[in-house]
Amino acid sequence: MAILLKSLFFLSLLFVSGSAFPFIGGLLGDADKTVDQGFGTVANGGADDDATSDTNNQIPDDDNTGVAQPDFQTNFLGNWMIHNPNAGVSSMHLQLLPTNKAIMTDATNLGPSAIKLADGKCLPVPGAPRLVDCWAHAVEYDIDTAEVRPLEVLSNPWCSAGGLTVDGSLISVGGTEEGNRSVRILKPCQGCDFMDQQAVVSSPRWYSSQEKLEDGSFIIFGGRREYSYEYVQSSLTFPQRRVPLLFLNETDDDKIVNAYENNLYPFVHLLPDGTIFLLANRRAVIISTETDTIVRELPRMPGGSRNYPASGMSALLPLKISNDGAPVQAEVMVCGGAKPEAAWTLDKKKQMLLALTDCGRITPSDPNAFWAMENMPSRRVMGDLLLLPTAQALILNGAMQGVAGWRLADSPNLTPLLYTPENKVKERFQSLSPSTIARMYHSSAALLPDGTILVAGSNSHPKYTFTGPFPTELRVEKFSPPYLDPVLDAHRPLISEDTSDKTLAYGEKFSVAIELEDAAGAQDFKLTMLHPPFTTHGYSQSQRLLVLEPVSYVNGVITAVAPPSGKLAPPGYYILYVVHRGVPSRGMWVQIA
Ligand SMILES: *[C@@H]1O[C@H](CO)[C@@H](O)[C@H](O)[C@H]1NC(C)=O
Ligand SMILES: *[C@@H]1O[C@H](CO)[C@@H](O)[C@H](O)[C@H]1NC(C)=O
């Protein structure tokens, strides 16, 4: 298999056929700066008037002074625990479901895993009618009990895309071999297995990225040598709309001498005006889903390549929705990665280059948008960039040297970084307690309702290999970030789920009942809502965190206005946290529609 893969890799080189067009001129192009749609207006559902009358009629809690008290401080740098010593599969892809089960999937064609299918069952091997496979290549993982249930996967999800549908199912799209045009659905029901529709998406999608849109459908970009995107509607009716996208060909480094690809698993973010931010390799564009055109090219990101195999990280920073209806400022962050030539240099010269250290932030709606660059305390490729309940970010996993791929990296970066977007430059990163487990290629991570981070997978080998450097990693860890310091527990709100609203309507008020010892006013809280992402290859697809300002806090009940539209909060399930002066509650699953 390794040999097959290798030949695939070099096949992509042959495809280049020596076309060394001038790199800078060719890639830079002339950005179209004339079309900038800016923000749409943000409705606030008349929240202001309602809020005023509410607060007038009710007795405020002790500290409703309108002046926020400072956040609680902690010196806790976090800690790690092994949650399960053997999950049976290495978690190449990870999706948390609203049932509090995490779904871990791996390739199906690379040999035995460490867990068999249930009840001695074996599945036919696609394309080899006489062979069967009795190993499971996906599991359902109980995030509380660490219990593992083997799942049946009928088509190969290796390097697929995915997301959480409006009804809380995992939708896994593409992959390779018979799975390259598949849609696999795993419903959030007890004992369920994947349903598989093969050959339904328009094009093979291997290493593609998908993002949930305002109506709950998904847009899926790219894949190996697939220069297009398409839409998958929630109704799963096929065929879907496919749009060629030359930009993905232009950013494919296979046409560059001394570089490979560097634009797979591109970064896709739905912006508040409904347009799409797409970054591939070093270039970023804004795409209108109404006209299916590139409406603007943003400045080129300096520093190196950001997508597979130079796998960096990216997230849409937390979106603050204020009650006065002010436009929501969206900022995209991109961190780490590798030099464009890193994979080629390793392959041809047996030299492993150091990963990138820098991060860039850009405000796509700004007519003068630019990349504000800053440095992480350490280098990182193949890391994960997760948003936290506190509206901070966590950077973890990955390596300091090499690129994504089998045996192509070294120097695991064991130290997570806490990132506070609002701090001054140079005061944003904090290094936290290191793990002892290398999590490099094919590792993943997810934020859980209790605020811990589930960390799983890592396989630097095609097959499960338990000897030599960087063995296949089956251990599942949980990391507790600083905000879980037990010293802060006295100030931690507890959501009373039974008396809180769990179904939210766009722009409408909802309430969350809490228990809290401290005296506090509405201004001492924020509510944050996480859309649980599908994480693979260092990128968390459809990840977004909304930050809401409460309008009142009366008798232990926080009232807030739900996000105004699907552009800010695509429909479906979210984890809602109450954050009291920097101390988050355990999250509660809510739905918005
Ligand atoms: C996708 O899978 C089909 C069926 O296995 C195969 O015939 C086709 O060559 C594959 N395409 C790519 C680009 O791998
Ligand atoms: C991609 O671009 C190259 C030129 O750089 C061209 O030769 C090739 O036909 C393009 N491929 C597609 C599928 O558009």
The pTM of the full predicted model, rounded to 2 decimals, is: 0.90
**At 52, which helix (H) or strand (E)?**
helix 47-57
Q: Give me the pLDDT at residue 236, please.
A: 83
Q: Which ligand is nearest to the CA of 20?
A: 2
Residue 66 has pLDDT above 50, yes or no: yes
Tens digit of each residue's pLDDT (9 = 90 or more) over 510-532: 999 999 999 999 999 999 999 99
Neighbour tally for 18: CB within 10 Å: 8
Q: CA separation (Å) from 48 to 54, 506, 552, 557? A: 10, 15, 11, 18
Residue 23 has pLDDT above 80, yes or no: no
Q: Give me the pLDDT at residue 63, please.
A: 65
Q: Could you tell me the two tokens for 74?
A: 């902690």
User: Could you give the 3-state DSSP secondary structure of residue 276?
Assistant: strand
Long-range contacts of 222-231 (CB under 8 A, 24+ apart): 222/248, 222/263, 222/264, 222/265, 222/266, 222/280, 223/174, 223/264, 224/12, 224/261, 224/264, 225/12, 225/15, 225/252, 227/252, 228/202, 228/203, 229/287, 230/201, 230/202, 230/203, 231/289
Q: Are strands 544-548 and 319-321 parallel, antiparallel or unpaired?
A: parallel
Cβ(255) – ligand 2 distance below 6 Å: yes
Tens digit of each residue's pLDDT (9 = 90 or more) over 173-202: 999 999 999 999 999 999 999 999 999 999
Distance 122 CA to ligand 1 centre (A): 24
Tens digit of each residue's pLDDT (9 = 90 or more) over 353-404: 999 999 999 999 999 999 999 999 999 999 999 999 999 999 999 999 999 9
Q: Give me the pLDDT at residue 184, please.
A: 97
Question: Please, which residues bridge with residue 479 across strands?
Answer: 80, 453
Cβ(180) – ligand 1 distance below 6 Å: yes
What mean pLDDT do residues 436-448 have?
A: 98
Cβ(178) – ligand 1 distance below 6 Å: yes
Q: Which ligand is nearest to the CA of 126?
A: 1
What mean pLDDT do residues 249-271 have?
A: 96
Which of 434, 435, 417, 447 is closest to 535 using CA atoms? 447
Which of 9, 108, 177 is the best mutation target for the ligand 1 pocket, counting ligand atoms within 8 Å of the beta carbon and taking the most?
Answer: 177
Residue nearest ligand 2's atom 12 by CA: 249
What mean pLDDT do residues 24-51 have?
A: 33
Distance 199 CA to ligand 2 centre (A): 25
Q: Could you tell me the two tokens for 227?
A: 């220069």
Q: For a pLDDT cut of 70, what percent of the chain falls above it?
A: 89
Give the C-alpha separation, 526 to 320, whole Å. 10
Cβ(23) – ligand 2 distance below 6 Å: no
Residue nearest ligand 1's atom 8 by CA: 177
Q: Which ligand is nearest to the CA of 177?
A: 1
Residue nearest ligand 2's atom 11 by CA: 249
Residue 41 has pLDDT above 50, yes or no: no
What mean pLDDT do residues 58-79 have?
A: 82
Q: Give me the pLDDT at residue 17, please.
A: 34
Distance 203 CA to ligand 1 centre (A): 9
Neighbour tally for 220: CB within 10 Å: 28
Residue nearest ligand 2's atom 9 by CA: 249
Q: Token pair 């849409």 is at which residue?
A: 316
Query: Mean pLDDT for the chain?
Result: 91
Q: For a pLDDT cut of 90, what percent of the chain falls above it?
A: 87
Amino acid found at 267 = F
Q: Give me the pLDDT at residue 35, please.
A: 31
Tens digit of each residue's pLDDT (9 = 90 or more) over 113-138: 999 999 999 999 998 989 999 999 99
